[in-house]
Chain A
């Protein structure tokens, strides 16, 4: 007789790690590369005070003001901006801002979106119908425009560090709630008619218990995917806000989009370093997150997963009772 098996170790059940284990080939390469890039950025953000040569709003030192628009050199590895700020330092500090906004935005939208989706999808009725119409209306709306409107409301467009970060985060949250809502609702609707949920209903299980024990625990499989894709979208939205001069003001935090906006005028005179470095930082971080998200998606989908047998093929499986 079969022995009770040891529970799978915690590590092997964590989303990304378990995905790496069951991946192969290109998909594994993409996942690993994406994870490494993302982790590198997290590390840079955490260590920003240590590795950045200057503070983000430092444009002078003991020897006087920094030269402005100076090409990369030994003193300023990536050059300086029109305001005399050190580009390298601002890019490094910008990592902190970007990740902070992403984390707050995603935490807020996941909690609200998942709860709404769960209740709306499982209970149905008029609440569901109203929420679906609202989510469907917001979903195709340009995220950037909504973010602009929200950040006007929250910060009047200009702000201190925290209110600026919060404004950007909440602006992005408003956009993402419908996305989580739609995904979780679809899962809840699907699970609602699964036999195990119906069997819980037949047993007379309370709605709360069905929602949290049976539905929620089985509806989160696509969360890692949306999470990474949303994180990259959040960074692009934040940068877009900054680019329009509506993000976080430059003296309170370093923000890549804002720096790119400033750099735009530099291009005409061939000054490339003020724009290329923050831009490359955005591309790299979004690339890392998207690589993670895309490969997670493929690995989670049996149809897309490499080296996995197709559904419906007639393979030996242990059939029959315990005779």
Chain B
């Protein structure tokens, strides 16, 4: 190799002014490994935060049933549950439990948090799935349209709609949808995941998944399928439209900022059409930040799911959480929140890996 070619070898030394992206040149395998290891501190921090927040002031038993018991009874309950030991002992024990997948038992109905996940997780998953379908089908294409027509009338209309979607709390959207489609038009059911007879029918299936859509499809009964879908429309729309608004803004903003890159001008100078510039040249690079931020929106979706489930009496994890909140069962609340923390950390890991796979600079 000649000296000149050598001088041209791809060497971009890390200068303090421009540190290379930490993932740059790392290789996908290493990246996934490093990112996977990061799940542990993330979960640890969240669980620790929740634990100490809940214990700073008192203990869940006093908070739950304190007023209703005598002092002696309360002391006995606390002693029994181990809340009188030093807090760090409890903390270490709690961490150990979490690590083995034990998120504790509820006070009010003495159930394993894990069981609650098994029983109701499917419902929440199903709701989030519907919402994501609505969000992707509505948000992403409209975001591209808005970027293509940027600063012109269609863009203005879409942006206002997106802001409206974001500004409407999901329970208010749900309330309006219910008023319109259930009460006034009578087209769709008010709430619940299925009518009671269908629910019974689904319960009789061999090992039901708890995900009604799958169970209904397995039953092959068109009335059941129709009933399940009819119940899904409004909750899916309420949560989905909120998310669609966020996706629309996300896609639009990232596309526009990518369209400002010189390689778009370069492609334009080669005679590439404006539509293709948006669809190919801007979309794929913009997808990397879009996917990353979408991952962060999963959290918003879960928070929204709690409210949506309450609005539509959709018996999922969020609905249960709200019930336990109402019953002041804070052990259950802590357990479910910790569980959701793990789910959020895992989802973000998956999303980051997807983003890395899209980005050739990480792949090679």
Q: How far is the CA of A279 from the CA of B63 in the complex (A)?
A: 31
Q: Is A290 an interface residue when CB atoms closer than 8 A count as contact?
A: yes
* Closest partner residue, chain B, to A194 (CB atom): B17
Q: Is A283 an interface residue when CB atoms closer than 8 A count as contact?
A: yes
Q: Is B202 an interface residue when CB atoms closer than 8 A count as contact?
A: no
Q: How far is the CA of A150 from the CA of B333 in the complex (A)?
A: 12
Contact B169 A275 (CB under 8 A): no
Instruction: Give how many A residues have a beta carbon under 8 Å from the other chain's beta carbons.
Output: 58
Q: Is A260 an interface residue when CB atoms closer than 8 A count as contact?
A: yes
* Closest partner residue, chain A, to B347 (CB atom): A140
Q: How far is the CA of A286 from the CA of B296 in the complex (A)?
A: 21
Q: How far is the CA of A107 from the CA of B46 in the complex (A)?
A: 24
Q: Which chain A residues border B310 with CB–CB below 8 Å?
A: 243-244
Q: Is B86 an interface residue when CB atoms closer than 8 A count as contact?
A: no
Q: Is B73 an interface residue when CB atoms closer than 8 A count as contact?
A: no
Q: How far is the CA of A30 from the CA of B256 in the complex (A)?
A: 18
Instruction: Give how many B residues have a beta carbon under 8 Å from the other chain's beta carbons.
Output: 65
Contact B179 A303 (CB under 8 A): no
Q: How far is the CA of A319 from the CA of B34 in the complex (A)?
A: 49
Distance from B285 Cβ to chain A, minimum over Cβ atoms (Å): 15
Contact A152 B172 (CB under 8 A): no
Q: Is A199 an interface residue when CB atoms closer than 8 A count as contact?
A: no
Bitwise interface map of A from 16 to 56 toward B, beta carbon under 8 Å scored 1, else 0:
00000000011000100000000000000000000000000
Q: Is A94 an interface residue when CB atoms closer than 8 A count as contact?
A: no
Q: How far is the CA of A232 from the CA of B183 in the complex (A)?
A: 30
Contact B307 A243 (CB under 8 A): yes
Contact B57 A291 (CB under 8 A): no
Interface of chain A, helix or strand or loop or mixed? helix
Q: How far is the CA of A286 from the CA of B303 in the complex (A)?
A: 18
Q: Which chain A residues border B311 with CB–CB below 8 Å?
A: 264
Say which residue of A137, A138, A152, A286 sits within 8 Å of B41 (CB atoms).
Answer: A137
Q: Which chain B residues border A240 with CB–CB below 8 Å?
A: 169, 171, 303, 306-307
Q: Which residues 107-139 of A have a CB within 8 angstroms of B?
A: 133-134, 136-139
Q: Which residues 150-193 of B have a CB within 8 angstroms of A?
A: 151, 156, 159, 163-164, 166-169, 171-172, 175-176, 178-179, 182-184, 190
Q: Is B326 an interface residue when CB atoms closer than 8 A count as contact?
A: yes
Indicate whether A294 sits within 8 Å of B303 (C-beta atoms), given known contacts A138-B45, A270-B179: no
Contact B325 A148 (CB under 8 A): yes
Q: How far is the CA of A125 from the CA of B190 in the complex (A)?
A: 55
| Number of interchain pairs (Cβ within 8 Å) | 166
Q: Which chain A residues border B58 with CB–CB below 8 Å?
A: 156
Distance from A302 Cβ to chain B, minimum over Cβ atoms (Å): 9
Say which residue of B167, B295, B341 sits within 8 Å of A283 (CB atoms).
Answer: B167
Distance from A201 Cβ to chain B, minimum over Cβ atoms (Å): 12
Contact A149 B175 (CB under 8 A): no
Q: Which chain B residues border A263 with CB–CB below 8 Å?
A: 175
Q: How far is the CA of A25 from the CA of B307 in the complex (A)?
A: 37
Q: Is A287 an interface residue when CB atoms closer than 8 A count as contact?
A: yes
Contact A267 B178 (CB under 8 A): yes
* Closest partner residue, chain B, to A312 (CB atom): B262
Indicate whether A142 sits within 8 Å of B49 (C-beta atoms), given known contacts A148-B325, A303-B256, A306-B151: no
Q: How far is the CA of A268 from the CA of B191 in the complex (A)?
A: 10
Contact B53 A287 (CB under 8 A): no
Q: Which chain B residues border A236 with CB–CB below 8 Å?
A: 169
Indicate whether A152 sits within 8 Å of B296 (C-beta atoms), given known contacts A26-B156, A267-B175: no
Contact A260 B172 (CB under 8 A): yes
Distance from B289 Cβ to chain A, minimum over Cβ atoms (Å): 14
23 A-B pairs, CB-CB below 8 angstroms? A136-B42, A137-B45, A140-B296, A140-B344, A141-B46, A145-B302, A149-B337, A156-B58, A244-B310, A244-B325, A245-B325, A246-B325, A260-B171, A260-B175, A263-B175, A267-B190, A279-B175, A282-B168, A282-B172, A283-B172, A287-B164, A290-B167, A304-B253
Q: Which residues of B contact A (CB under 8 A)?
A: 16-18, 38, 41-43, 45-46, 49-50, 53-54, 56-58, 63, 151, 156, 159, 163-164, 166-169, 171-172, 175-176, 178-179, 182-184, 190, 249, 253, 256-257, 260, 295-296, 298-300, 302-303, 306-307, 310-311, 322, 325-326, 328, 330, 333-334, 337, 340-341, 344-345, 348
- Given A140-B298, A141-B299, A193-B16, 9 more A-B residue pairs with CB atoms under 8 Å apart are A137-B45, A141-B46, A142-B300, A142-B340, A239-B169, A246-B325, A260-B169, A282-B169, A303-B260
| A-B interface, 3 closest residue pairs, ranked by CB to CB distance from nearest | A142-B303, A279-B172, A286-B167
